[in-house]
Structure 1
Amino acid sequence: MRRLAIFLALCAGVAAGAGPAPDASKRPVGRAGSTAMMMTTAGAIVRPARDPVAAAVAAAVAERGQGLRVSLRPALRSPTVEMRAIARRQERARGAVCGVPDIQGEYVGAVPGRLGGCGIDEAVRVRSVSGVGLTQKSVMDCTTAKALKTWLEATAKPALRSQGGGLSRLRVAAHYSCRTRNNKAGGRISEHGKGRAIDISGFVLADGSTVTVLKGWTARGTSRTLRQMHRGACGPFGTVLGPEADSYHLDHFHFDTARYRNGSYCR
């Protein structure tokens, strides 16, 4: 009984000294401007992120009242477009020579020469370069094929871009031929006989018209263009000869990849 009386007395004292029950939760209340959620004018709820950058984006969205309108994910090509691109790459790779897809043709291999100094160790027969066809398949080495590609892309195609729909084909006058220079008896072997030369007599345009070296070199509408192409070949090729070089080259450009100690020889 005594213990019960003591217990009751203690309970009464606690009740007497205690204040009124709390009328509000003790959970912390966020400061103004840092609400747990922000409501946009469009009614969308944006939850603030812990990352400062993400938080800034969320604040901007809330302020403007609209979400991001454009996705930042890169647009992917459709399966049809992708398959066509793959097919084109495969088609080009099947006909590629010299390890360059833009040089199309076939491997020939070693070409023996009937004269001393003639022949090619590893020859290719080229039918098109950088999308420009050759009027006859031309046998040469890969160094010459790559020089032709460089000249076409850097000079010839840009020079003819605004004429007749652009360059379509090269009119080839000569390529590999085991002979002496200018076919002179007893002369030195021509670079043609080594697979390092190509002669071009004209340029066939997309509309079917042709600009020839013979007539176009002095013609008002084509003279500047042909001279530009002649100059542009000096560098990619070691030897560049045109109508002003000599009487043998009045009607064509001669390009070859022979190299000289003093640089390219261009006339």
Structure 2
Amino acid sequence: MKRLVASFALLAVLAASAAQAAPSSSPFPRLRPTAMPRLLPVFGPSPETMRPRARPGTRTAPIVVASVGSASFTAARSLRPKARPSYVRKVAAVQSQPKVTTTGKSGSICGVKSIRGVKAAPIPGRLKGCGVKKPVKVSSVGGVALSRPSVMNCETAKALNSWVKNGVKPSVGRLGGGLKSINVIADYSCRTRNNQPGAKISEHGRGKAVDVSGITLNNGKTITVLKGWGKTADGKILRRMHKSACGPFGTVLGPNSDKYHKDHFHLDTASYRSGSYCR
């Protein structure tokens, strides 16, 4: 028992000695001092804390967010982004009509009663090889109207008249009440073949060519080369028309010729020693 009491007494003495030897400050490092919070105006929060700052490179415009008396506080805000440009669907442009000075009254021209139109003044070419000495502006051939008055020479007008009377009309027959009009998309135009840079001057530039995209019937139905060429009924009519043009015209090009004629017939009166060129 005496030994136990002596042990406790010894422990008490050691504890007291350790307490006296302990340092006056904590051995752990002090916390880093924090930045003092910014004092806000008594009348409201700082404008800078009201909205997030604009991203770098963003256009900003000031707006008033608070005012007291004559003093006002502003903050920056991002402008609304510009609307994305609307993409306009590209549509194949129809060839514009050339400026042609007509002479005389409308009526029979080129010495053929069934060719109707008006004579025009000579057309000078802006490119070498272009131009027409005696052009005419044709409105109808073989009793069938053209979808637009077309400029050409009389040789081409006569070929077109012969094709409509002896080729197109018989190919259509009584379908849809008969033939109403020929849809022309190009006539005289001073340009190169297929509008390709460096190519030869097109027969369009000499007034010897016309492009036909299809026909319209009296019941209002339109048969187009683009949509009708592969169809059974309309395709047969278009193929007969295409074949019948080979003879009156020196060159006949259609969907089977190349990528430039998928939607129309190119008809011109160029002459070749070997005869008409038809594709």
Tell me the TM-score normalized by structure 2: 0.62
- 2:202 corresponds in structure 1 to 190
Q: Please state how far the C-alpha of 1:165 moved relative to its aligned partner.
A: 0.8
Structure number with larger C-alpha Rg: 2
Q: Please state how far the C-alpha of 1:202 moved relative to its aligned partner.
A: 1.0
Superposed, which structure 2 residues align to 1:135-146 within 5 Å?
A: 135-146=147-158
Distance in 1, matches of 2:180 and 2:123, equals 29
Structure 2 unaligned residues grouped into runs of 5+:
1-104
- 1:27 corresponds in structure 2 to none
- 2:222 corresponds in structure 1 to 210
Q: Please state how far the C-alpha of 1:140 moved relative to its aligned partner.
A: 0.1
1:236 aligns with 2:258: no
- 2:264 corresponds in structure 1 to 252
Contact 2:106 2:118 in 1 (8 A): no
More strand by share: 2
2:123 alignment partner, one of 111, 114, 121: 111
Q: Please state how far the C-alpha of 1:161 moved relative to its aligned partner.
A: 1.5
1:199 aligns with 2:211: yes
Residue identity opposite 2:263 in structure 1? D
Change over 3 Å in CA distance of 1:155–1:226 after alignment to 2 = same
Residue identity opposite 2:240 in structure 1? Q
Distance in 1, matches of 2:106 and 2:216, equals 26
Distance in 1, matches of 2:165 and 2:147, equals 18
SS at match of 1:230: helix
1:181 aligns with 2:193: yes
Instruction: Give the % identical residues.
Output: 56
Distance in 2, matches of 1:223 and 1:208, equals 18
Residue identity opposite 2:130 in structure 1? C
- 1:85 corresponds in structure 2 to none
Distance in 1, matches of 2:175 and 2:227, equals 16
- 1:97 corresponds in structure 2 to 109
Residue identity opposite 1:231 in structure 2? K
More helix by share: 1
1:133 alignment partner, one of 145, 150, 155: 145
- 1:168 corresponds in structure 2 to 180
Distance in 2, matches of 1:94 and 1:144, equals 18
Aligned residues: 175
- 2:235 corresponds in structure 1 to 223
4+ long deviations beyond 3 Å: none
- 1:158 corresponds in structure 2 to 170
Cα offsets for 1:4-51 (capped at 9, x unmatched) = xxxxxxxxxxxxxxxxxxxxxxxxxxxxxxxxxxxxxxxxxxxxxxxx
SS at match of 1:177: coil
Residue identity opposite 1:264 in structure 2? S
Q: Please state how far the C-alpha of 1:162 moved relative to its aligned partner.
A: 2.2
- 2:57 corresponds in structure 1 to none
Residue identity opposite 2:133 in structure 1? D
SS at match of 1:176: coil
Cα offsets for 1:167-216 (capped at 9, x unmatched) = 11011110000000000111100000000000000101111110000111
SS at match of 2:200: coil
SS at match of 1:221: helix
Tell me the TM-score normalized by structure 1: 0.64
